[in-house]
Amino acid sequence: MGFNSQLIEVLLFIFLTRVLSFKVEMEPHQRRITVESGSDLVLTCRAKDCLSPTFSWIALEDKPMYIKPENGVLESRAVLTPVRKENDNTYICKVTCGSQKAQKSIEIKVYSFPSDPIIEFNAPLQEGKEAALTCKVPDVYPLEYLEIQWLDGELALKESDYQDSSALSLTYKFVPKIEETGKKLTCKAVIAMEGIPEELKTKTTATTFDVHYAPQKPLVSGCPSSTVREGEEMSLTCSTQSNPPAELVWKKLLPQGQSQVIAEGGTLFIGKAQPFDSGEYQCEALNAVGRSSTNIEIAVQVAPKNTSISVYPGEALKEGDSVTVSCASHSNPAATLTLRKKSPTGDRELESSNGSLTINEAQLGDSGLYECEATNEVGSEKATVNISVEAIPFKVEMDPSQRVLTVELGSELVFTCRVTDCPSPQFTWKHPTDRPLYEKTETKGNESRISLSSVGTDQENTYRCQVKCGSVVKESSTKIKVYSFPSDPVIESNAPLQEGKEAALTCKVPEVYPPEYLEIQWLDGERVLKRDDEGVYIKNNDVSNLTSTYTFVPKMEDSGKEITCKAVFKMEGIPDQKKSKASAVSLNMHFSPKNTSISVYLAETLKEGDSMTVSCASHSNPAATLTLRKKSPTGDRELESSNGSLTINEAQLGDAGLYECEATNEVGSEKASVEISVKVPPRNTTVLVYPSTEVLEGQNITISCKTISYPAPTIVLKKISNGTTFCSDNGTFELYYLTTNDTGLYEINVTNDMGYEVEVIEIHVGKRLQEKKSPPYLAILIPTIGVSAAVLAAALFVIHLLRQAKSRGFYELTQLNPAAV
């Protein structure tokens, strides 16, 4: 039992091993093959290690397989004869071996590229006309792999990847040129599909251009040429290039656009040339594309004939006449016409234009025999005529007619030269050096003018008008002398005139020419003070500025005297009214300020608020500058005044003081002053009590009153209780050895003639603890009156201060302004 089971296991293992090792093979062995349409293909499917396989064929794409299966014992074949594009599919061979199955697949790619490209023309190639070449590639599959190119050698002209039809095509359009005849273009088709042998991927077709074009402009060559002499023979040949070859015709062009065919073919032959054979001929070339022609002029040369010479207006002339000599002849080619003047000493060839010569002004020397010779390359012929010229008289006059003319510098001058009895005068204006003048000239008929717009010294010369009439030359001349004396003298002074101080007057005469003719005189009325025959002058370009100086010591009585500078120009030819010019100056004596004064309006003493005007006056030459100042110990203050006058509309106390006027000019100065007072009533009164309004018996008190007023006030101190009154000029009151009876109210009255002001103070005198013996009087009042009283008061006050200094210290009274107390 055990042995049998082992045997079964071994057999089963062998069986299973054989079954499991079953394989399928496909021939061709590639997984993918590329096959050309129309070829034969057999697919062989084999089962390996299977005793009785079963085969079946299917296509991966759901479409008919178009195969013929042939099954054998161990293999199966799929026959594709012929291969078609529908066989482009994946074929699967399925094999069953017992219960086992296996399969093998192969992908077949079918292509069709059977023939070379086909090139087609839409029409014969013609120069300048657009043409289209079409390249067709038939029966191509698959389309997406096809590329078509038009090539000029290696140069790609146009390319296309694919088309949407089985007969693919690519069209190349261009405009043919003549020089492209024989050129080759290639159509190249490439199927870029994988698996196709390289040698089968590309196909080409080439075409050669045959460009049709109209005849080119014909070329004409002649023997001997297009020119022939009368009686000789000639032959002309016409040739051209064209495709297809052109037909050639010779025509003679007639008047009114007509023509006559005289020869067919490329050769024109003339036997014995006659003048009527001359003319324009045409060679015309034509073919199916077009036509072209060339014209040529055939000239039959003839020697000069009927040569003649004519004279207009006639052969007998007067000197100065205009004459035209003309020569004519008949010939071919046109003859060269030469005019000569015959002479025993030798002929002289004349410069003519086409055989014609014009002599504008005939001269005596133009008389003689004239010859015309007509010459061309065939021969020559001559003709002659005799011309005679007679002389004529004439007269020349100049305007202005003076032989010497004096002209002012800068003026305008016109010379007129007239000729009589000369039909065609020739004018020339000259300097004495015979060089021509280039000023503005104008010639018309028998007159010539020269204009000098602004005469200068460089034009001081002799002007000659030279006239040629025929062969005779005459002239007239005028000499120009230029002068300049344009303006009156100018008188200047070296400094202001001052009495007793030497002065100099200068007379200037500007822009004089020539300076040697000028005399300068200094006159006092009719009396000649000084005469300069040759003044000092400075040249300025062509003119001079002359000066003369008169020196003198002026006196005061000379003021206002008139001094004249007279300039006399002693040159001939100048009008009398222009020979003398004069200028006068009035002597103006300068002196320092005198009689300087200062005045106050309304008065020098004012009331506060009044209006006043301070005016300054002085006598001087030149007029003085008037300056107003207000004097002050701390420094003068210059006032803003108008021509030495100052108005104060509302006078104040501060406007009082000393005013000074100073008159100043370039010669000297002078001053004047005035004191101005401004009255004001007392105001701003203050009262000070030293050392205090409360003191003890026996002490002293100083009462100081300050106020602002003018004039100085009278200051009165009054005790209100008993009416005791005291006066002071400076506002200071001294009370000595006070008692209790001095206690009370005190009134201080400040009064001047403008008003008053009152102040009240209270003084309290206290008792001492120990009575001291007092003087037999209550108080001593010492008003300060006069010089002696002031000295006494000062002495007493100094004693009082020394006493107070021991116990209370030292102090000073404030000093008051002299105008106030």
CATH topology of domain 118-208: Immunoglobulin-like (2.60.40)
- Residues ≥6 apart with Cβ < 8 Å to 545: 508, 509, 510, 511, 512, 537, 538
- Answer whether residue 682 shows pLDDT above 50: yes
Identify the architecture of domain 303-390 in CATH.
Sandwich (2.60)
What is the structure's pLDDT at 671? 92
CA 303-305-307 angle, 5° bins: 125
> What ranges do the domains of the chain cover?
2-111, 118-208, 219-300, 303-390, 395-483, 490-587, 592-678, 691-807
- Spatial neighbors of 232 by CB under 8 A, at least 6 apart, are 272, 273
Q: Which CATH class is domain 490-587?
A: mainly beta
Output the CA–CA distances (angstroms, integers) from residue 295 to 224, 235, 258, in the order listed. 18, 15, 14
Give pLDDT, residue 795: 44
- Give the count of beta carbons closer than 10 Å to the beta carbon of residue 272: 11
Q: Does the fold of domain 219-300 match that of domain 2-111?
A: yes
Mean pLDDT for 241-245 is 89
Average pLDDT over residues 379-393: 87
Q: How far apart are CA 510 and CA 487, in angstroms?
A: 7
- Separation CA 107–CA 86 (nearest Å): 13
Residue 597 pLDDT: 94
Closest by Cα among 350, 349, 388 to 369: 388
- pLDDT for 788 equals 38
b/e sequence 719-734, b meaning 16+ C-beta within 10 Å: eeeeeeebebebbbbb
Q: Out of 1.10.8.640, 3.40.50.720, 3.30.465.10, 2.60.40.10, which CATH number does the structure's domain 2-111 have?
A: 2.60.40.10
Out of 6-15, 61-70, 653-662, 798-807, least confident range: 798-807
Give ∠ CA 764-765-769 in degrees, rounded to 5: 140
Amino acid at 468: K
Could you give the CA distance from residue 640 to residue 627 in angstroms, rounded to a whole number? 8
Give the other-Cβ count within 10 Å of 11's Cβ: 10
Give the whole-angstrom CA distance, residue 246 versus residue 238.
11
Q: Average pLDDT, stretch 636-659?
A: 88
CATH topology of domain 592-678: Immunoglobulin-like (2.60.40)
Burial 532-542 (b: 16+ CB within 10 A, else e): beebebeeeee
N- to C-terminal Cα distance for the chain?
176
pTM, whole model, 2 decimals? 0.39
CATH superfamily of 691-807: Immunoglobulins (2.60.40.10)
Domain covering 219-300 assigned CATH 3.40.50.300 in the classification:
no
Domain 395-483 indexed as CATH 3.40.50.150: no
Shortest CA distance to 96 belongs to which of 52, 57, 154?
Answer: 52
Give the model's pLDDT for residue 347: 84
796 or 314, greater pLDDT: 314
Q: Inform me whether the pLDDT recorded for 539 exceeds 60.
A: no
Mean pLDDT of 46-73: 90
The beta strands (E) that lie in 421-558 are given as 426-430, 440-444, 447-452, 462-469, 472-483, 490-493, 497-498, 503-512, 518-524, 527-532, 536-540, 543-552
Calculate what percentage of the chain has a pLDDT beyond 70: 88
Residues in the chain: 821
Summarize pLDDT for 471-508 with one digit per residue, the tens. Answer: 788 888 888 889 999 999 999 988 888 888 888 999 99
Report the DSSP beta bridge partners of residue 791: none
Lowest mean pLDDT among 355-369, 524-538, 753-767: 524-538
Mean pLDDT score, 246-250: 92
CB 489 within 8 A of CB 567: yes
